[in-house]
Amino acid sequence: MAAPVEVRSQDGSFMKMLVYDNNYFMSFFVGNIKDHLADIEQMEVRDDDTFVLTYPKSGTHWAYTLSSMLRTGETTYHGSPTFLDFTNMETINNLPSPRVLASHLTFNFMPRQIKEGKGKVVSMLRNPKDVASSMYTFAKKLDHPDYQARYQLSWEGLLELYLGGRVPSGTWFEYIQAWDRVKRDHKGNNIIHLIYEDMKQDLGSNVRDLAVFLGASCEQDFLDKVTENCTFKSMSTDSANLTPSEQWMNVTNNKILPIYRKGEVGDWKNYFTVAQNEHFDKVYKEKMKTSSFNFRFQ
């Protein structure tokens, strides 16, 4: 069974989570974790299902919005995705097709049928320094007693817990290493990897590649509209005009979806000290020396 745990950094910063089988999960994960993970593993996957898999703060909403527009043929912004992690299986099973589902779980926790090649998996990856700074600013945005009690973090404390893997989803490095194993061992052709920094540089080409992968319309007018509506500026504006779900309404003062901030590449420079950056680079060089993934930091 999952157990509640409070992890602390040297400066007293803390996060409250659940731990199960030596993995950290957000405290609002469905059920007792063990049973819900089993339900996910056994779920019936539809041919037109899309699973958007991301490490937290790596462009989840971006990949979800792109996938939703391409899958449905509609270019309207719909807000937050349905997360496998935080939604009971009855609700998931009753969603109309085509379903686009998000998760911060690694591929090994996905449905057995996905591993057998059914459905599509969209992996979104982002450089770990911007992930860390985005994680910190997101936690500081939340304004509700339950969340304030769950996240009390300084930047120094967050960085220590993040590098030590004592955050939901574990370390970013372990997450990337898990994808390296999937690239090596998975025999199907139902996975695409999107890189956040590459999408910022050339969104249009990535939208076309994703459309081809999902079997969506590749008519240029449609792809141009999807690209236009999925720029950071457009999604940020649309989110401010959209009433967020009750979950988000309860944790913000301004009642605006607290997902979008800057969306820039290289904003980490506003947070890392020289010493922190040098230490991080040393860890990155060691952890990523055998990885097939390359990331840009500016």
How many helices (H) and strands (E) in the chain? 14, 9
Q: Is the distance from CB of 255 to CB of 242 less than 8 angstroms? A: no
Residues 6+ positions from 106 with CB-CB distance below 8 Å: 53, 169, 175, 178, 179
CA 280 to chain centre: 21
Where in 129-198 does DSSP place strands (E)?
A: 151-152, 191-195
The residue from 36, 61, 104, 279 that is catalytic is 104
Is-catalytic flag, 104?
yes
Place of tokens 């574990």: 170
Where in 114-255 does DSSP place strands (E)?
A: 120-125, 151-152, 191-195
Calpha distance 39→290 (Å, rounded): 34
DSSP per residue, 247-297: HHHTT-SS-S-TT-S---SSGGGGT--HHHHHHHHHHHHHHTTT-S-----
Catalytic residues: 104
